[in-house]
């Protein structure tokens, strides 16, 4: 089939590569414009652009898609179908009608759960045990199109959003391959819109830890789910502190259950971590952390360079 591919981040590349490996003709690739990144804020191409150029394919990076020029270009490509994987823009309805078989979206959740921009992150942050990938027909409403195929996976207990996203990207490529191969015989399934949940775009403030309200387990979910951005963070002596790895402490010594420790208070220092009191008499061990402007360190190395005392409170 003649396919137009629309995608931007690293997680879209396995689907793109699988389309080519399956022998389909990719007539064009659309991706986001180059953005400033890294030291010096130099313009960096999106990962999908790099992959497309490696295959000598035409790449388009429009700043807007609701223009006559975009429509004219898309019509000139005359695709049989368009595939979209984390492109990052809402496609107008009149564009959806151009490909003969419409648009297929590869979405990293089990729709109707976690519609939106950050389904992987929010699934982990909310403590879900399962997630997966859905291929669906694209419609103007956010992730509300008919379901084509789905594949379910268990979320591993220590998996971060980066780990899970990488795993789902390859699962999505396999599911897309199957969807394209069986497109004519698949009967689309209407979503149950009453069961829809949402995964909004991440904001910096989402990562802030509320020691008074969150249990240790809920904080661990945030640590895993908000990587690499915005990070699960708090304050130490007024400076932003990012927690990169943490675990729930299941057993505590008797003095820690006496009610003498407030949420956010440092309880003790273990050989491999910093134990902090949390809501509902739960206990968090911080294993890896980073003060703003400094290196990402394990707890032992961190304590060698930063003066911290038992009884100090995080978040202040």
Pair (109, 217) in one structural domain: no
Pair (191, 281) in one structural domain: no
Work out how many domains the chain is built from and give that number.
2
Pair (25, 173) in one structural domain: yes
Helix, strand or coil, per DSSP, at residue 23: coil
Calculate mean pLDDT across residues 245-261: 72
Domain assignment of residue 49, yes or no? yes
Radius of gyration for the chain, computed over Cα atoms and rounded to the nearest angstrom: 23
> Cα(290)–Cα(295) distance, rounded to whole angstroms?
6
Per-residue pLDDT, 56: 98
Give the CATH number for residue 164. Answer: 3.40.50.170
Pair (257, 121) in one structural domain: no
Pair (48, 133) in one structural domain: yes
Domain assignment of residue 227, yes or no? yes
The domain boundary residue, chosen from 195, 225, 258: 195
Which tens digit of pLDDT belongs to each residue from 222-242?
999 999 999 999 999 999 999
**Closest C-alpha among 2, 44, 240 to residue 232:** 240
Domain assignment of residue 16, yes or no? yes
Domain assignment of residue 48, yes or no? yes
**Closest C-alpha among 113, 127, 118, 71 to residue 94:** 71
Pair (182, 215) in one structural domain: no
Pair (240, 187) in one structural domain: no
Give the CATH number for residue 245. Answer: 3.10.25.10
Domain that holds residue 223: 204-305
Which tens digit of pLDDT belongs to each residue from 117-142?
999 999 999 999 999 999 999 999 99
Which tens digit of pLDDT belongs to each residue from 142-197?
999 999 999 999 999 999 999 999 999 999 999 999 999 999 999 999 999 999 99
Per-residue pLDDT, 256: 47
């Amino acid at each position: 089939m003649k396919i137009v591919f629309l995608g931007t981040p690293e997680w879209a590349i396995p689907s793109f590569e699988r389309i080519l490996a399956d022998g389909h003709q990719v007539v064009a690739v659309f991706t986001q414009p180059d953005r400033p990144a890294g030291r010096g804020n130099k313009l960096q191409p999106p990962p999908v652009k790099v992959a497309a150029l490696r295959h000598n394919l035409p790449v388009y990076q429009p700043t807007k898609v609701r223009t006559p020029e975009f429509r004219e270009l898309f019509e000139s490509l005359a695709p049989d179908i368009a595939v979209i994987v984390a492109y990052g823009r809402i496609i107008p309805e009149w564009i959806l009608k151009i490909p003969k078989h419409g648009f297929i979206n590869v979405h990293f959740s089990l729709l109707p759960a976690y519609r939106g921009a950050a389904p992987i992150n929010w699934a982990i942050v909310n403590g879900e045990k399962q997630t997966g990938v859905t291929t669906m027909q694209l419609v103007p409403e956010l992730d509300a199109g008919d379901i084509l195929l789905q594949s379910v996976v268990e979320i591993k207990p220590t998996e971060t959003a980066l780990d899970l996203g990488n795993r789902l990207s390859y699962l999505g490529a396999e599911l897309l391959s199957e969807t394209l191969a069986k497109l004519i015989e698949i009967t689309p399934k209407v979503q149950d819109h009453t069961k829809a949940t949402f995964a909004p775009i991440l904001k910096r403030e989402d990562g802030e830890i509320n020691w008074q309200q969150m249990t240790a387990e809920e904080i661990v979910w945030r640590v895993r789910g908000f990587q690499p951005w915005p990070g699960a963070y708090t304050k130490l002596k007024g400076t932003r502190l990012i927690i990169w790895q943490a675990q729930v402490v299941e057993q505590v010594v008797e003095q820690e259950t006496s009610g003498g420790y407030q949420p956010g208070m440092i309880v003790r220092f273990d050989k491999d971590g910093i134990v902090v009191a949390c809501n509902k008499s739960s206990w968090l061990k911080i294993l890896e952390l980073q003060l703003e402007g400094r290196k990402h360190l394990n707890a032992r190395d961190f304590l060698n360079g930063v003066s911290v005392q038992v009884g100090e409170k995080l978040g202040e």
